[in-house]
Chain A
């Protein structure tokens, strides 16, 4: 049986669409700038924390010098306090951008709907309109606001970590640099696949919800038409598809972290191997090696976040296209204000003409 389905996924990444989306943030410009600053600081502290460990090992444990512990503790505490403020601000500001953008888009879409003619509402189902103004806009707000968080943090983190590791030991830094493309490729491949399957599962889920609604609201009709079996077959087909997609999704998700951990562990092994020799040869300190292990183990996070964001954006493109198609509709009913003014001015002209 033929069923109309919404376009859910576009393979090509549409940069112009997202630039258009970013322009929608004009009203929230100051918040966006503040969020960027907060995210840069956030990444900076995430980069500094392993250096604290390095400092403790190299400057206190190895020389057996306990004298600087109070200053060290205070510094550590201040960093935590600063990160507390950062995390609070990032969630709060991103939330404000998300809800603000959602409100703006909703308001514009609703105002546009008020200018459309009856024929528009006859050819467009109310369910389609409601879905655009509610779930599609929610999705866009979420992708844009939290996308800024992931993107800025991810890039800032990669730059800071690279800067630090190269300043500590360029030889060990090359190991990290070699791991980056591998981690990037795995992240992009898996995040895209995971997100595609996740969306597919959600789509089947919403079709199942719709099918439940139809089955329950139309129970009497189904019984009188004796099409229980046909409906059940359709429903079973749908649940089987969802089951298949869910299993695939679970397998891909289950593979991702072990793959990343495997690469990170191989990287850590190489760092310990080469770094260990360097420590023995007193080329680098203990602390440097520990910091390197920490950076290697957490190297995947920025890549994974950015890869997930691009996968999300690619899938949210269909939502963005639909929302813009609604907002950019040509109004079919024009306000009669101009006509009234025109009519009044002509009336005035007629009056003045009659006086002369």
Chain B
């Protein structure tokens, strides 16, 4: 299921169902009860007047039903035009630097105004059609009310019905018509609500991750951090294996760099350690114990992961860095942010560590986001640290500062560094080169540089580039 689709199911579909139950279902019930209660009363008073009062009722119902089915595509067109307008605006605002760099302001204005105009036209057309519907259905209802009164005048004059009966019918017809007109519209929406129920049920029926099983680690307990992969294989689908027969032991406190091309299985390998995926073959041991034996939450608390594209919450910087702490300690937060070379950037913000980031606050640059995620991992002081290409958006100078900071805590945690750049392996005790899901080479920098293989190839290319650049 795509992320956008899940969000839509949890928000729009829930809203459709809520609206149906809270508003439309009530209106529908009102319409049905009005018919069930009023028609017998009207029949008991005068059958002919009832017939006259009901002439337009089926037509108004069918008219509303058919109209709102037909007009659905126009609603959709207006929604799509609004969606496109928002996309154009978002693209233009987030890409403002590119717009300026290529002096495309006029082009952007005309593109935005074209989108805004298209949205205006689609809304206008929709409103015109709705104007026709509401005015004509109003007229139909008024004709029905007039018909009851005009026929009633004749029968009252002839003495066939009383003036009281005529006035009662005049009131009843109004009570019947408007809810029935609404019923036609509601029935067209009912289909949408049923589809939403089905879509939401799929989310509700999805199997949940077992978080409580396994043995618990005592409060404050810290693992040594020895990691061992035994004959590890993994595939999202059988036809395309990602990891093939990996055997690797990482000693407690050791720093290992994993190098490899995109798709070589580096991130997958590290995602398996905190049990983000379970369907692998082989075994993963931490401190000699199969990771499936640990309680999943306790295991994850021992691991700090920094992702290449870190996710930050729309909260303050302090709240983001201290997210996983039981009680946020500002001193710890500041220490971690200094280690991640983020403190100086934070100090420049007006509200410092209380600056709100994300959609409800300021936007951080890619490098700042990565450093914030790094501080979030460091503040936990976990037994295992994983940096998944975590400094890709950081400039070389800041990268060096961070590496120097990390060097001072070397040996404190077992550290896995995933990287494309050779500068990232500087801290590593050992380097593992992955190729097509297999370990192609393993050793220290000096050992690997002497071997023919991927590492030497990458080294030569990047070294050559650096020389050319300098």
A66 to B155, CA, bound (A): 10
A residues in contact with B242, CB < 8 Å: none
Q: Does A133 contact B (CB under 8 A)?
A: yes
Contact A88 B131 (CB under 8 A): yes
Contact B138 A84 (CB under 8 A): yes
Given the interface contacts A2-B316, A85-B135, A221-B311, does A126 sit within 8 Å of B7 by beta carbon?
no
With both beta carbons as reference points, the residue of chain A lying nearest to B304 in the complex is identified as A224
Q: Which single member of A66, A91, A214 contacts B130 (CB below 8 Å)?
A: A91
A126 to B92, CA, bound (A): 10
Q: 28 pairs across A/B with beta carbons < 8 Å?
A: A1-B319, A5-B360, A61-B156, A65-B157, A66-B153, A84-B136, A84-B138, A87-B131, A87-B138, A91-B127, A91-B134, A91-B135, A111-B109, A118-B100, A125-B362, A125-B363, A126-B363, A128-B359, A134-B86, A205-B15, A210-B314, A214-B313, A221-B310, A224-B304, A225-B300, A226-B300, A228-B211, A290-B167
Interface residues of B in 108-140 (CB under 8 A from A): 108-109, 112-113, 116-117, 120, 123-124, 127-128, 130-132, 134-136, 138-139
Contact A114 B319 (CB under 8 A): no
Contact B93 A209 (CB under 8 A): no
Q: Does B143 contact A (CB under 8 A)?
A: yes
A110 to B91, CA, bound (A): 12
A64, A85, A86, A114: most-surrounded residue (chain B CB, <10 A) = A114
Contact B116 A107 (CB under 8 A): yes
Contact B6 A216 (CB under 8 A): yes
A216 to B9, CA, bound (A): 12
Q: Does A276 contact B (CB under 8 A)?
A: no
A64 to B156, CA, bound (A): 8
With both beta carbons as reference points, the residue of chain B lying nearest to A290 in the complex is identified as B167
Q: Which single member of B94, B120, B149, B356 contacts A103 (CB below 8 Å)?
A: B120
Given the interface contacts A1-B316, A123-B362, does A80 sit within 8 Å of B146 by beta carbon?
yes
Contact A76 B324 (CB under 8 A): no
B residues in contact with A130, CB < 8 Å: 86, 89-90, 93
Q: How far is the CB of B307 from chain A (nearest CB, A)?
A: 7
Contact A218 B89 (CB under 8 A): no
Given the interface contacts A81-B139, A110-B113, A224-B276, does A286 sit within 8 Å of B131 by beta carbon?
no
With both beta carbons as reference points, the residue of chain B lying nearest to A105 in the complex is identified as B116
With both beta carbons as reference points, the residue of chain B lying nearest to A88 in the complex is identified as B135
Q: Does B433 contact A (CB under 8 A)?
A: no
Q: How far is the CB of A37 from chain B (nearest CB, A)?
A: 17
Q: How far is the CB of B67 from chain A (nearest CB, A)?
A: 14
Which 5 pairs, one residue from A and one from B, show the smallest C-beta to C-beta distance? A95-B127, A91-B131, A87-B135, A88-B135, A127-B359
User: Residues 1-24 of chain A: 1 if any B CB is under 8 Å from the residue's CB, otherwise 0?
Assistant: 111110000000000000000000
Q: Does B376 contact A (CB under 8 A)?
A: yes
B residues in contact with A2, CB < 8 Å: 315-316, 319, 354, 356
Given the interface contacts A69-B153, A217-B311, does A3 sit within 8 Å of B360 by beta carbon?
yes
Contact A95 B131 (CB under 8 A): yes
Q: Does B227 contact A (CB under 8 A)?
A: no
A89, A129, A210, A223: most-surrounded residue (chain B CB, <10 A) = A223
Contact A95 B90 (CB under 8 A): no
Q: Does B200 contact A (CB under 8 A)?
A: no
Contact A72 B150 (CB under 8 A): yes
A72 to B83, CA, bound (A): 52
A residues in contact with B6, CB < 8 Å: 216
Q: Interface stretch among A52-60, A164-172, A184-192, A255-263?
A: A52-60
User: Residues 295-311 of chain B: 1 if any A CB is under 8 Å from the residue's CB, otherwise 0?
Assistant: 00100110111010011
B residues in contact with A57, CB < 8 Å: 163
A residues in contact with B120, CB < 8 Å: 99-100, 102-103
Q: How far is the CB of B194 from chain A (nearest CB, A)?
A: 22
Contact A61 B157 (CB under 8 A): yes
Contact A226 B297 (CB under 8 A): yes
B residues in contact with A92, CB < 8 Å: 127-128, 131
Contact A216 B3 (CB under 8 A): yes
Q: Does A83 contact B (CB under 8 A)?
A: yes
Q: How far is the CB of B380 from chain A (nearest CB, A)?
A: 8
A residues in contact with B316, CB < 8 Å: 1-2
Residues of A at the B interface (CB closer than 8 Å) are 1-5, 49, 52-53, 56-57, 60-61, 64-66, 69, 72-73, 76-77, 80-81, 83-92, 95-96, 98-100, 102-103, 106-107, 110-111, 113-114, 118, 121-123, 125-130, 133-134, 205, 208-210, 212-214, 216-218, 220-221, 223-228, 230, 250, 286, 290
B117, B131, B316: most-surrounded residue (chain A CB, <10 A) = B131
Q: Does B154 contact A (CB under 8 A)?
A: yes
With both beta carbons as reference points, the residue of chain B lying nearest to A61 in the complex is identified as B156
Q: How far is the CB of B388 from chain A (nearest CB, A)?
A: 10
Given the interface contacts A1-B315, A83-B142, A114-B109, does A61 sit within 8 Å of B149 by beta carbon?
no
With both beta carbons as reference points, the residue of chain A lying nearest to B380 in the complex is identified as A225
Q: Which single member of B142, B166, B300, B310 contacts A80 (CB below 8 Å)?
A: B142
B residues in contact with A103, CB < 8 Å: 116-117, 120
Contact B123 A61 (CB under 8 A): no
A residues in contact with B323, CB < 8 Å: 225, 227, 230
Q: How far is the CB of B429 from chain A (nearest CB, A)?
A: 24
With both beta carbons as reference points, the residue of chain B lying nearest to A224 in the complex is identified as B305
A residues in contact with B310, CB < 8 Å: 221
Q: How far is the CB of B303 from chain A (nearest CB, A)?
A: 7
Given the interface contacts A91-B131, A99-B124, does A73 sit within 8 Å of B167 by beta carbon?
no
Interface residues of B in 251-300 (CB under 8 A from A): 274, 276, 297, 300
Contact B127 A99 (CB under 8 A): yes
A209 to B442, CA, bound (A): 47
Contact A61 B274 (CB under 8 A): no
With both beta carbons as reference points, the residue of chain B lying nearest to A87 in the complex is identified as B135
With both beta carbons as reference points, the residue of chain B lying nearest to A45 in the complex is identified as B142
Contact B356 A126 (CB under 8 A): no
Q: Does B422 contact A (CB under 8 A)?
A: no
Q: How far is the CB of B198 from chain A (nearest CB, A)?
A: 19
Contact A106 B116 (CB under 8 A): yes
Q: How far is the CB of A103 from chain B (nearest CB, A)?
A: 5
Contact B7 A212 (CB under 8 A): yes
A228 to B208, CA, bound (A): 13
Q: Which single member of A56, A96, A102 contacts B149 (CB below 8 Å)?
A: A56
A221 to B274, CA, bound (A): 11
Contact A4 B131 (CB under 8 A): no
Contact A64 B157 (CB under 8 A): yes
Q: How far is the CB of A243 from chain B (nearest CB, A)?
A: 11
B residues in contact with A286, CB < 8 Å: 163
Given the interface contacts A2-B319, A80-B142, A212-B10, does A121 sit within 8 Å of B150 by beta carbon?
no
Q: Does B73 contact A (CB under 8 A)?
A: no
